């Protein structure tokens, strides 16, 4: 075999090996799967917490080519590891986990002043928000309220949405990404907490305009919509992390599902419930959804099935579907929970769950940050772990 053919064979073998068809055949009740997953997460996350405890200001980001990669609090994911520790603490009541949850949450505090991007919601609500939910620590209230004020500065009434990014990569005038739907939960909390309706008005205006402009007739969503700052109507609809402008980037679809589910929980507005159900229907019945319900990184990748799964899209979807199942009729709820059970059982097998001390001490393997940018492809990511733990936590309450 000449070298060219050999490298082609190796390349294809590498791709095929990313197709983790690992339907879980674990006969244990789901409750035991959830309990074991929490026990493993507790041990693995303690190792992670110990690894970074003396590296002042650092937080885990990923693990790539055998190397730990960390970030400071500026990275959009800084709140997820502290948030994961809070979920583990909630379910295991381990005092060391509590100590580390507080330590790593404090490392994110400066982001309450973030006004140069929309990610302040992710950073502060996943860390301080969970900490506040569990401890009612008064200090956390101030951090969250300051963060909500910072996020609100990015709202422009002429457009009616919060601006996601300040850079103008593709001639964007006012880029809004579907991910931004996740940041509104902080504003809804701030409105309830402070009594200031302004936060809620911003959140709901953003949610409504996103329904209007971000979704296609089949309820898939664009990644980036850029608005004309004078007319307030979209002038570009594109992708940044997906396969193409018209494709369905998997994590983006899951952000939308999660977003409209909590928007319904918080407002009881039927339009949000309908939107969440429509997105769920699109995803659950998608012809390119694998039978283990761990999505490929983009539903329209031309390389399916020989391309990467995105575990972060699966964990987000699982967590959202558990909540959505509370709001729909029995047969739909059963359908959603069958999907969730398949996802959780699959993710909890060695095909996706790391071994103790391996995988840079992350829990899950095989996520994709940005395939087009060749960044964080087939690696562990903090948010995949975070939404897995949230899903486990929701599941534990339900069963």
Binding site for ligand GLY (CB under 6 A): 76, 179, 241, 251, 369
Quote the least distance from Cβ 155 to ligand GLY, whole Å. 18
Read off the tokens for 172: 């964007």
Query: Which positions are catalytic?
Result: 119, 179
Can you tell me whether residue 221 is helix, strand or coil? strand
Nearest to ligand GLY of 100, 260 (CB atom): 260
Quote the least distance from Cβ 240 to ligand GLY, whole Å. 9
Nearest to ligand GLY of 347, 384 (CB atom): 384
Nearest to ligand GLY of 100, 125 (CB atom): 125
Closest C-alpha among 8, 40, 6, 18 to residue 364 = 40
End-to-end alpha-carbon separation of the chain, Å?
Answer: 55
Quote the least distance from Cβ 262 to ligand GLY, whole Å. 16
- Omega before residue 305 within 30° of 0, cis: yes
Phi, psi of 212 (to 5 degrees): -65, -40
Nearest to ligand GLY of 90, 185 (CB atom): 185
Check if the beta carbon of residue 200 is closer than 8 Å to that of residue 187: yes
Quote the least distance from Cβ 80 to ligand GLY, whole Å. 11
Read off the tokens for 209: 């305009």
Nearest to ligand GLY of 76, 299 (CB atom): 76
Instruction: State how far the Cα of 172 lies from the Cα of 47, in Å rounded to an integer.
Output: 42
Quote the least distance from Cβ 243 to ligand GLY, whole Å. 14
Can you tell me whether residue 357 is helix, strand or coil? coil
Distances in Å between the Cα of 57 and the Cα atoms of 74, 89, 309, 337 are 10, 21, 31, 39
- Tell how strand 155-156 and strand 67-71 pair up: unpaired
- Geometric angle at alpha carbon 316, from 314 and 319, rounded to 5°: 105
């Amino acid at each position: 075999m000449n070298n060219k053919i050999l490298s082609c064979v190796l390349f294809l073998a590498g791709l095929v090996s990313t197709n983790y068809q690992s339907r879980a055949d674990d006969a244990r009740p789901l409750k035991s799967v959830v309990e074991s997953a929490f026990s493993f997460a507790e041990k693995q996350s303690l190792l992670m917490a110990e690894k970074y405890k003396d590296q002042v200001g650092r937080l885990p980001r990923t693990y790539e080519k055998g190397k730990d990669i960390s970030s400071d609090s500026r990275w959009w994911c800084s709140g997820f590891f502290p948030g994961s520790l809070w979920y583990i603490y909630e379910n295991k009541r381990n005092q060391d986990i509590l100590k580390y949850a507080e330590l790593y949450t404090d490392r994110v505090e400066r982001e309450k002043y973030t006004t140069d991007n929309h990610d302040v919601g992710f950073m502060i609500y996943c860390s301080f928000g969970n900490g506040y939910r569990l401890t009612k620590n008064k200090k956390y209230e101030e951090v969250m309220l300051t963060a909500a004020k910072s996020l609100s500065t990015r709202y422009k009434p002429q457009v009616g949405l919060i601006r996601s990014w300040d850079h103008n990569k593709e001639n964007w005038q006012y880029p809004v990404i579907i991910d931004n739907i996740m940041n509104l939960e902080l504003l809804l909390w701030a409105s309830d907490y402070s009594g200031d309706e302004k936060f809620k008005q911003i959140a709901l205006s953003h949610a409504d305009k996103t329904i209007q402009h971000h979704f296609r007739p089949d309820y898939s969503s664009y990644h980036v919509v850029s608005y004309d700052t004078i007319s307030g109507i979209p002038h570009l609809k594109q992708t940044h992390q997906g396969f193409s402008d018209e494709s369905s980037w998997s994590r983006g679809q899951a952000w939308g599902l999660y977003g409209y589910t909590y928007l319904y929980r918080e407002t009881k507005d039927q339009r949000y419930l309908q939107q969440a159900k429509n997105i769920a229907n699109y995803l659950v019945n998608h012809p390119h959804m694998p039978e283990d319900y761990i999505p490929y990184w983009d539903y329209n990748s031309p390389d399916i099935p020989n391309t990467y799964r995105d575990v972060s899209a699966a964990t987000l979807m699982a967590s959202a579907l558990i909540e959505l199942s509370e709001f729909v009729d029995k047969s739909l709820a059963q359908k959603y929970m069958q999907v969730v059970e398949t996802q959780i059982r699959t993710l909890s097998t060695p095909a996706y769950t790391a071994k103790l001390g391996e995988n840079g001490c992350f829990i899950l393997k095989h996520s994709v940050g940005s395939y087009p940018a060749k960044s964080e492809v087939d690696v562990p990511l903090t948010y995949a772990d975070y939404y897995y733990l949230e899903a486990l936590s929701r599941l534990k309450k339900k069963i």
